[in-house]
Amino acid sequence: MAEKKEIHIDNIKKASVLIKDGNFDALIKSGKDFEKQIKSVKLALEEKLKDLETARKEKETAVEAEVVSKVEEKKVEAEVKEVEVKVEVVNAEPVVEEKKEEKSSAPEEIKPAEVEVEKTATTEQKQETEPKRAFVPERPSFIVRREGVPPRPERSERTERFERPNRDERKPFNRDGAPRQQGERREFNKQDGFNRNAKPDFNRQGGKKPQPATFVAPAIIPTTNDKRNFTKKKAGGEKQYEDKHAINKRALIRNQVDIDDFDENKTGYRKFRPAKKEKAKAEVNVIKIEKAVINTEIIPLKVLSEKIGITAAEITKRLFKEGIMKTINDSIDFDTAAFIADDLGIELELKLDKTAEDVLSEGFEGQEDDASMLKKRPPVVTVMGHVDHGKTSLLDRIRKTNVTAGEAGGITQHIGAYQVSVGGEVITFLDTPGHAAFTAMRARGAQATDIAVLVVAADDGIMPQTVEAINHAKAADVPILVAVNKIDKPEANIERIKTQLTEHGLLPEEWGGDAIICPVSAKTGEGFDNLLENINLLAEIKDLKANPDRKAKGVVVEAKLDQSKGPIATILVQNGTLKVSDSVIVGTVTGKIRAMIDDKGRRVTSAGPSTPVSIMGLDEVPNAGDILYAVEHEKLAKLVAEERQNKEKENMLKASQKVTLDDVFNKIAEGEMKILPIIVKADVQGSVEAVKQSLEKLSNAEVKVNVIHSAAGAIKESDIMLAESSNAIIIGFNVRPDSNAKQIAERSGVDIKLYRVIYEAIEDVERALKGMLAPKFTEVYNGKAEVREVFKISGVGQVAGCYVTEGKIIRNGKLRIYRDDVMICEGNVLQLKRFKDDVKEVAQGFECGISIERFNDIKVGDFIESYQVEESKE
């Protein structure tokens, strides 16, 4: 035993070392070797048991054969003796002696052989006239028959027939012409009547056939398996048998009798069967897991159960005890898994595998460009500012094109990217909308830019959106160049603007700061040369360089879905060179570039650093602000996209799992919250996000705006079907429904709202929310009454006889019952009467009878307070 224990301990130590090292293959291999050893031992034991069983069966068969042979020998001897007796009886002359009956003495027992002799003698005496024939039977052949079944009697051979006699006369019932013999009638066969179906026992010459040799069945020797005993006889001489009742084995077990030596064969219970020997169970060494390695942050319960060695059902029970409801098909985060494992004494280690995202990052961020490979690139300038301060007009003056006329309401609705050549130097401009709703778009634009041009109207000054633009530029660590526009207006005040800029951390150069201020007029063109010179100066100071001889990396400035061309994304290349036929990954979207178009509408085959191009060939519309990577193989792009999609799902799962005290109260409030489902469709992805964020900001504590779907493109049939199933309204921004979608919407009653300016959409939704606000309930005090008498009326219950001391009591109002200034009940008025008449109200100074709904414990001296609850909408 000590050696076995040492072996087990060594096995456990080896397994622990393998688990700690993470060498699971060796652990599995050692486990398989151990299983093979167990199987070999098991097979050897089974073979030995089979040999023992075969030897035992052969021994039993030999014993049974010996017993059967002895029984058969006894049967043969008995049959031979009986045949010899029959032969002697047939050949001997029968002598019948009259027996004297003695009344006082009891009859002696007659043996079967003597009875047969008497019957034979009587028959011979009756047939004195018949001729006697000698009968010598042949020695019968003995056949071994089944136990307990007597053998059939042997048939005697027929003697030669006599010749047919001459018949002189034929008479009925006397065919041979001889007179009918006198004597006793033949015996009546109780079983078959008068021998109807048997052959006649006389021949045609009138002589009877010789009687066949009387057969006496041999005595039956009961075997050991026969349950009956024929050897005992009772006083009446009849054979009796006794049944040995089988011993109930279950009763023996209930009575706690040791049945190991119980011999069923000897007791006649049933055939002896060898007891089944239980197979020895192989001892399995249970390996205790002390440490496990997890490769993902979100772990399915089934995977965790395999890692820590307990069932998934047991894990769900432990989670339930901690207040976490999960099924075996769910997943949990690493922190929760580590808590469960620590409770079991197992250490969990998070060791993330190298993913496709890591491979992608190593190819771009992990490699630094050689200084000799870097070349000068154009600066990327973002134009930022408040609404209608002249951003697009400023770019229009620079590009000498007219873009503002095409804008809805004079407001830029999405980002435009342009390249302008100034004095032989190329500058890339990004025009970001100035409306507050496009904050996210402007933030993305600031991240992708090198220089920020802040446009401020000389007549309006600093506005809220201007402040937001300053904050975005500072957060992106981008130098700010202030362009004071509209200086041609008489009310322009540049000094006031400088003072306002100082309040927000921008100190002009004239005042000792680093903020460059350029007064310009987009209308007259004044100050533009100075503005462009300062932009080039800042670009030279920053020494902007990039490596054009590597795979491209860029940012999505804008994306939309074109009906004929499919998804189109405006990309600003930040590093490397983007080429046609490159496989790209953009966020969770993959694709292969089929065509590229520059800002002037020309098809190009490549785009270098700081170049804006529109690309086609993506599978879906990406989000504005997503990073584009050009990869060597399309397979890597798909793997990265799949991992990012799974990570988004995991992040959603983690966000839903982390519950704080504040979240509990928020979720309770959301249970009572009314939800306005909305579907947002816009012409470009940037506008979709802007409208979505603006609408979601309208949610308050009582009404929640739920944007169930948002996408770029026209309103389609699928959008109508989704709105119909979810009872949502559709808001379209610069898009219209196609003909089929419009017909389905009219038929199904789906509400579609179309807008070209975002202000109108926000105002309409805000008005809709006000109509859906939950009403505010206000309590209005009516009066008070004193209980002076209590009556009991059958079928009604207790009725309080009251006197109204204050205000009035109203039948449709609510009641509170106070006893010793403590409220004991709150309910409704069941009946209100004055004398025998039902009344609506009872004023102060009058008596009345009040019956309260579901309350029959009114006492004299109680006070009843009447009030109403009125609702009001904000």
CB 520 within 8 A of CB 483: yes
d(CA 456, CA 438): 18
pLDDT score recorded for residue 240: 52
200-215 pLDDT per residue, tens: 554 455 545 555 555 4
Q: Which of 195-204, 391-400, 589-598 has the highest mean pLDDT?
A: 589-598
Q: Which of 66-75, 590-599, 650-659, 743-752 has the highest mean pLDDT?
A: 590-599
- Decide which of 231 and 768 is more confident: 768
CB 502 within 8 A of CB 511: yes
pLDDT score recorded for residue 388: 74
CB 324 within 8 A of CB 658: no
pLDDT score recorded for residue 662: 40
- Decide which of 32 and 189 is more confident: 32
595-644 pLDDT per residue, tens: 999 888 889 999 999 899 999 999 998 887 788 999 888 888 888 888 88
Q: Which pair of structure tokens corresponds to residue 774?
A: 């939950």
Asked if the model's pLDDT at residue 583 lies above 50, the reply is yes
pLDDT score recorded for residue 613: 92
CB 361 within 8 A of CB 305: no
Asked if the model's pLDDT at residue 804 lies above 90, the reply is yes
pLDDT score recorded for residue 848: 92
pLDDT score recorded for residue 383: 85
Which of 761, 748, 749 has its CA nearest to residue 678?
761
What 3-state DSSP class applies to 426? strand
pLDDT score recorded for residue 783: 92
Q: Is the dihedral of CA 353, 359, 360, 366 positive or negative?
A: positive
Asked if the model's pLDDT at residue 23 lies above 60, the reply is yes
pLDDT score recorded for residue 578: 92
Q: Which of 33-42, 476-485, 698-707 has the lowest mean pLDDT?
A: 698-707
Asked if the model's pLDDT at residue 521 lies above 80, the reply is yes
Mean pLDDT of 330-346: 86
Per-residue burial over 679-717, b if 16 or more Cβ lie within 10 Å, else e, is bbbbbbbbbbbbbbebbeeeeeeebbbebebbbbbebbe
Q: Mark residue 387 as left, alpha or beta (left: phi above 0; alpha: psi -120 to 50; beta: remaining).
A: beta
pLDDT score recorded for residue 411: 46
Mean pLDDT of 252-278: 52
The contacts of residue 541 (CB under 8 Å, 6+ apart) are none
Q: Which of 204-213, 765-774, 811-820 has the highest mean pLDDT?
A: 811-820
- Residue 466: burial class (beta carbons within 10 Å; 0-12, 13-18, 19+): buried
pLDDT score recorded for residue 200: 53
pLDDT score recorded for residue 182: 59
Q: What is the dihedral of CA 213, 217, 219, 220, to 10 degrees?
A: 160
Domains of the chain (ranges plus CATH)?
Answer: 1-92+113-156+189-221 (no CATH), 291-350 (1.10.10), 378-541 (3.40.50.300), 555-649 (2.40.30.10), 659-772 (3.40.50.10050), 776-872 (2.40.30.10)
Per DSSP (E only), the strands in 476-565 are 480-485, 516-519, 545-546, 553-562
pLDDT score recorded for residue 452: 87
pLDDT band at 233 (very low <50, low <70, confident <90, very high): very low
Mean pLDDT of 116-122: 48
DSSP conformational letter for 587: T
Asked if the model's pLDDT at residue 123 lies above 70, the reply is no
Q: How many CB atoms lie within 10 A of CB 193?
A: 10
Instruction: Determine the residue type at 434.
Output: G
pLDDT score recorded for residue 774: 52
Residues facing residue 674 across a β-bridge: 703
- Residue tagged 């998804």 (tokens): 567
Q: Is the dihedral of CA 842, 843, 847, 852 positive or negative?
A: positive
Q: Which of 334-348, 583-597, 662-676, 770-784 has the lowest mean pLDDT?
A: 662-676
Asked if the model's pLDDT at residue 663 lies above 50, the reply is no
pLDDT score recorded for residue 166: 58
pLDDT score recorded for residue 126: 47
Mean pLDDT of 390-411: 62
The distance of Cα 801 from the centroid of its chain, to the nearest Å, equals 64
d(CA 418, CA 423): 16
What 3-state DSSP class applies to 273? coil
Mean pLDDT of 513-532: 85
- Residue tagged 């990327």 (tokens): 380
Mean pLDDT of 328-340: 86
Asked if the model's pLDDT at residue 532 lies above 70, the reply is yes
Which of 439, 441, 440 has its CA nearest to residue 430?
441
Report phi then psi at 786, rounded to 5.
-105, 135
d(CA 780, CA 762): 36
pLDDT score recorded for residue 178: 55
The rounded percent of the chain whose pLDDT value lies above 90 is 8
pLDDT score recorded for residue 148: 58
- Residue tagged 């009387």 (tokens): 214
pLDDT score recorded for residue 606: 92
> End-to-end CA distance of the chain, in Å?
85
Asked if the model's pLDDT at residue 832 lies above 60, the reply is yes
Asked if the model's pLDDT at residue 828 lies above 60, the reply is yes
β-pairing, 451-457 with 612-618? unpaired
CB 584 within 8 A of CB 593: yes
Q: How many CB atoms lie within 10 A of CB 823?
A: 11
The rounded percent of the chain whose pLDDT value lies above 70 is 67
3-state secondary structure labels for all residues of 679-738: EEEECEHHHHHHHHHHHHCCCCCCEEEEEEEEEECCECHHHHHHHHHHCCEEEEECCCEC
pLDDT band at 668 (very low <50, low <70, confident <90, very high): very low
CB 831 within 8 A of CB 819: no
Asked if the model's pLDDT at residue 547 lies above 90, the reply is no
Q: What is the mean pLDDT of the chain?
A: 74
pLDDT score recorded for residue 95: 45
pLDDT band at 99 (very low <50, low <70, confident <90, very high): very low
